[in-house]
A and B are shown apart, each in its own frame.
Chain A
């Protein structure tokens, strides 16, 4: 029996010695990456898993970050958010607006070595109509291959904005091989035509991309432009690491284990701004912070009450705190200088007023009797929770009985689908403002507008917007829409929030965009 005790002890000590030997072996530093223009590996870190690598079947940003380096569509947005041909040579639209004939670029190769033809395009678009995550292609009646490199779309009705929807990167209408035509959502062979191909996906760990040696460059352009252009892959390998903890991401960047952070917390960026080994990239036009009011239930059913909320708020304080300082106060529903920017129409009298007296007067007029004003919010996206806290405090100051109900994001999405039981909901709109007015207004109209009770005037204006024949027409309609939003007060614009990205100092060629473009990026010597 005592022998056993001794044996245990010895094995204890043995393990101990082994551990210290291993610890010594472990402290040897990792080899550093080599420095040349072509070749090598780029390591990108992002916070969450891509829910799917089937590009057309997901609208997730985490997926888009990876997929847009792998797949391409016939058309996509250029840097100025205007549709440009990518896999298409061009398009001919019939005079009645009901037939679109796309000619395809010839000799474009898929990652599996096959050449892209009209059969692949037909299969992809028909699959999109079944599994596509957004109704972008809904106006299409039929898709026909009318030549080896020609595809003809027949439309259900005239849709002047079709080419914009068709270029929409939210869940892009990418071209995949014919063999994947009948694949269920998320079950394709992951083959695309882009400069990188997917070689491995380990959820919660990483996605590995490899340079596609036979990539067919689009020589019509000088360099990359938006989602298209002439793309050149310099890195042989690109790894997207999934790192949920922002502090660990920053540490990995500082240690040189990661080359590019898709998003760096603003306080960390400020700390690193004088670090020669780190480059920072700022994109102020990343998302709109909004507060959506339930026009169907409780005090917010009263338009005067909603107006009181609008005039009570101090937007600079809310967005400043919620975005940790990376923001622009903007009451307009388009980014300044973007194609649909109509200035501060409507906003001038109502945005960022923090007018306590007027708010109190409006509350009296609304007959407000201290009913609870319930804000639903989540902690999954920090901006949502932080903005809700500041909003609640400001509203309490004017005498509104604001209550915060903070849950997780799926619960919020479930609660907001209820017609009653909530009064306000904090939401950042990321891709919609980028896509333009139709994308924003479509969430505020239809069978289920964000603010629950629909506004007939807005419904009519939306129809006018999407049937506007030219961009000038649509812009004029959008000005009326923005004015109407400041009369109905169903949704309150808080401001524009930015995105901060960071890379190692030796990463060259990177520019901020809607997704991290890993082509035309290289490591300096």
Chain B
């Protein structure tokens, strides 16, 4: 899987016209200057040769050196990872909490105004473009009310309160767009479960409503929800690019997009490999959660 990702990246980059010599040389570079830069960086070599040497280095744990950033690809990605992980992680937590609660409310008060209302909220979140919503939040909370900073980043290790202040708006924006998916999945999954006999039995024997919903129904409805949350984690990682741009966060998404715009191939290659690894890791975690949540899945193994 990771091999396929890196191979695809290689081929796509090879197909895309233009290389980093344009960024280094500028608009007025002569063909000789361009050729000289290409030779220095080794990007005039054939694709196969470059691919073989890249994979060779990869096996030694070396992702190469950025053409433009003056540091190794590993450093370039690692120093940005905390930003993107804080953003996507916090957004995932917010989206999951808000989405699940909305979904439960909608399912329990099926066909009431609460159901309609929460589904409308979910749909609005799903439909609003995130960059626009981000700018609206910035103007509202950053400019008009002046409660939160309009953008930027403070590492959690340096200043926890600062980190929360800076992450709140970006994480909310990102969470809002994905909350809808989780809410809709929770709702339909809960509706299925709430119709089943054991729920009726539990209610009939006089168990408290809250216990029935959260202890019995939700627990059984969790597997599809966890699947959606897993998928959402991936979407949040890719959605982070836009949010990082709007909120001026120095994250991995902007690193990769900036590198694509400037054709810094080693960073694109390495950055995508790391992102793909996180993707795979999240999927493995989700698979493991299935077994933990549902004994039937575990027993089949």
Q: What are 6 A-B residue pairs whose CB atoms fall within 8 Å in the complex?
A: A26-B165, A244-B254, A255-B142, A257-B150, A446-B30, A448-B31
A205 to B83, CA, bound (A): 11
A residues within 8 A CB of B247? 245, 248
- The reply to whether B27 and A427 form a contact with Cβ atoms under 8 Å apart is yes
A residues within 8 A CB of B76? 203
B interface, CB within 8 angstroms of A: 16-20, 22-24, 26-28, 30-32, 34, 68-70, 76, 80, 93-94, 97, 100, 131, 135, 138-139, 142-143, 146-153, 161, 164-165, 168, 214-215, 218-219, 245-251, 254-255, 258, 261-263, 295
Closest to A252 in B: B150
Which one, A11-19, A92-100, A356-364, A459-467, is touching chain B? A11-19
> What is the distance, in angstroms, from B163's C-beta to the closest C-beta of chain A?
10
B residues within 8 A CB of A222? none
- Quick one: given A251-B139, A252-B151, are A29 and B23 in contact (CB under 8 Å)? no
- The reply to whether B22 and A241 form a contact with Cβ atoms under 8 Å apart is no
B residues within 8 A CB of A408? 18, 261
- The reply to whether B135 and A247 form a contact with Cβ atoms under 8 Å apart is yes
- The reply to whether B97 and A12 form a contact with Cβ atoms under 8 Å apart is yes
Residue A213 is within 8 A (CB to CB) of chain B in the complex? no
- The reply to whether B161 and A26 form a contact with Cβ atoms under 8 Å apart is yes
Q: Among the listed A9, A28, A204, which residue makes an inter-chain contact with B258, where contact means beta carbons less than 8 Å apart? A: A204
Q: Among the listed A244, A245, A417, which residue makes an inter-chain contact with B31, where contact means beta carbons less than 8 Å apart? A: A417
New A-B pairs, 17, CB < 8 Å, besides A26-B168, A204-B250, A447-B30: A5-B218, A23-B168, A203-B69, A205-B152, A243-B248, A245-B151, A248-B151, A248-B247, A251-B135, A251-B150, A252-B151, A257-B149, A407-B17, A410-B19, A410-B261, A411-B16, A413-B27
B residues within 8 A CB of A28? 147
A62 to B13, CA, bound (A): 26
- The reply to whether B254 and A204 form a contact with Cβ atoms under 8 Å apart is yes
> What is the distance, in angstroms, from A488's C-beta to the closest C-beta of chain B?
19
A355 to B294, CA, bound (A): 77
B residues within 8 A CB of A252? 142, 150-151
- The reply to whether B143 and A245 form a contact with Cβ atoms under 8 Å apart is no
- The reply to whether A243 and B261 form a contact with Cβ atoms under 8 Å apart is no
A residues within 8 A CB of B23? 51, 410
A residues within 8 A CB of B214? 5-6, 9
- The reply to whether B262 and A410 form a contact with Cβ atoms under 8 Å apart is yes
B residues within 8 A CB of A60? 26
- The reply to whether B135 and A248 form a contact with Cβ atoms under 8 Å apart is yes
Q: Among the listed A29, A49, A243, which residue makes an inter-chain contact with B146, where contact means beta carbons less than 8 Å apart? A: A29
- The reply to whether A244 and B215 form a contact with Cβ atoms under 8 Å apart is no
Residue A22 is within 8 A (CB to CB) of chain B in the complex? yes
> What is the distance, in angstroms, from B262's C-beta to the closest C-beta of chain A?
7
Residue A380 is within 8 A (CB to CB) of chain B in the complex? yes
A residues within 8 A CB of B249? 204-205
Closest to A57 in B: B24
- The reply to whether B31 and A205 form a contact with Cβ atoms under 8 Å apart is no
A7 to B64, CA, bound (A): 45
- The reply to whether A241 and B248 form a contact with Cβ atoms under 8 Å apart is yes
- The reply to whether A248 and B150 form a contact with Cβ atoms under 8 Å apart is yes
Residue A25 is within 8 A (CB to CB) of chain B in the complex? yes
A252 to B248, CA, bound (A): 11
> What is the distance, in angstroms, from A27's C-beta to the closest C-beta of chain B?
4
- The reply to whether B250 and A205 form a contact with Cβ atoms under 8 Å apart is yes
A133 to B21, CA, bound (A): 12
> What is the distance, in angstroms, from B40's C-beta to the closest C-beta of chain A?
10
- Chain B proximity mask over A424-444: 1 for CB below 8 Å, otherwise 0: 000100000000000000110
Residue A162 is within 8 A (CB to CB) of chain B in the complex? no
- Quick one: given A414-B17, A443-B28, are A202 and B135 in contact (CB under 8 Å)? no
Residue A187 is within 8 A (CB to CB) of chain B in the complex? yes
Closest to A59 in B: B26
A19 to B98, CA, bound (A): 12
CB-contacts of A240-274 with B (<8 A): 241-245, 247-248, 251-252, 254-255, 257
- The reply to whether A409 and B146 form a contact with Cβ atoms under 8 Å apart is no
- Chain B proximity mask over A445-472: 1 for CB below 8 Å, otherwise 0: 0111000000000000000000000000
Residue A366 is within 8 A (CB to CB) of chain B in the complex? no
- The reply to whether A380 and B261 form a contact with Cβ atoms under 8 Å apart is yes
A407 to B261, CA, bound (A): 11
> What is the distance, in angstroms, from B297's C-beta to the closest C-beta of chain A?
14
> What is the distance, in angstroms, from A18's C-beta to the closest C-beta of chain B?
10
Residue A415 is within 8 A (CB to CB) of chain B in the complex? yes
Interface centre among A242, A245, A443 (most CB of B within 10 A): A245
A residues within 8 A CB of B22? 409-410, 413-414
- The reply to whether A27 and B30 form a contact with Cβ atoms under 8 Å apart is no
A133 to B29, CA, bound (A): 9
B residues within 8 A CB of A254? 143
A133 to B143, CA, bound (A): 41
A21 to B26, CA, bound (A): 50
B residues within 8 A CB of A411? 16-18
> What is the distance, in angstroms, from B66's C-beta to the closest C-beta of chain A?
10
- Quick one: given A244-B245, A248-B246, are A415 and B17 in contact (CB under 8 Å)? yes
B residues within 8 A CB of A202? 250
- Quick one: given A15-B93, A413-B18, A413-B27, are A251 and B142 in contact (CB under 8 Å)? yes
> What is the distance, in angstroms, from B225's C-beta to the closest C-beta of chain A?
12
Residue A2 is within 8 A (CB to CB) of chain B in the complex? yes
A residues within 8 A CB of B261? 380, 408-410
- The reply to whether A205 and B164 form a contact with Cβ atoms under 8 Å apart is no
Residue A40 is within 8 A (CB to CB) of chain B in the complex? no
A residues within 8 A CB of B24? 51
A9 to B210, CA, bound (A): 11
> What is the distance, in angstroms, from A384's C-beta to the closest C-beta of chain B?
11
- Quick one: given A241-B248, A413-B27, A448-B30, are A248 and B258 in contact (CB under 8 Å)? no
6 tightest Cβ-Cβ pairs between the two chains A and B: A414-B18, A410-B18, A413-B22, A205-B250, A204-B250, A27-B147
B residues within 8 A CB of A247? 135, 138, 246
B residues within 8 A CB of A414? 17-19, 22
A31 to B278, CA, bound (A): 38
A389 to B94, CA, bound (A): 42
Residue A276 is within 8 A (CB to CB) of chain B in the complex? no
- The reply to whether A251 and B138 form a contact with Cβ atoms under 8 Å apart is yes
- The reply to whether A251 and B153 form a contact with Cβ atoms under 8 Å apart is no
- The reply to whether B97 and A30 form a contact with Cβ atoms under 8 Å apart is no
A residues within 8 A CB of B164? 22-23, 25-26
A408 to B18, CA, bound (A): 9
Q: Among the listed A5, A59, A446, which residue makes an inter-chain contact with B219, where contact means beta carbons less than 8 Å apart? A: A5
- The reply to whether A248 and B143 form a contact with Cβ atoms under 8 Å apart is no
- The reply to whether B150 and A447 form a contact with Cβ atoms under 8 Å apart is no
- The reply to whether A242 and B248 form a contact with Cβ atoms under 8 Å apart is yes
A360 to B19, CA, bound (A): 40
Residue A186 is within 8 A (CB to CB) of chain B in the complex? yes
> What is the distance, in angstroms, from B81's C-beta to the closest C-beta of chain A?
13
- Quick one: given A252-B150, A409-B22, A427-B27, are A245 and B142 in contact (CB under 8 Å)? no
B residues within 8 A CB of A248? 135, 138, 150-151, 246-248
Closest to A410 in B: B18
- The reply to whether B245 and A6 form a contact with Cβ atoms under 8 Å apart is no
- The reply to whether B246 and A245 form a contact with Cβ atoms under 8 Å apart is yes
Closest to B135 in A: A247
- The reply to whether A244 and B248 form a contact with Cβ atoms under 8 Å apart is yes
A residues within 8 A CB of B250? 202-205, 242
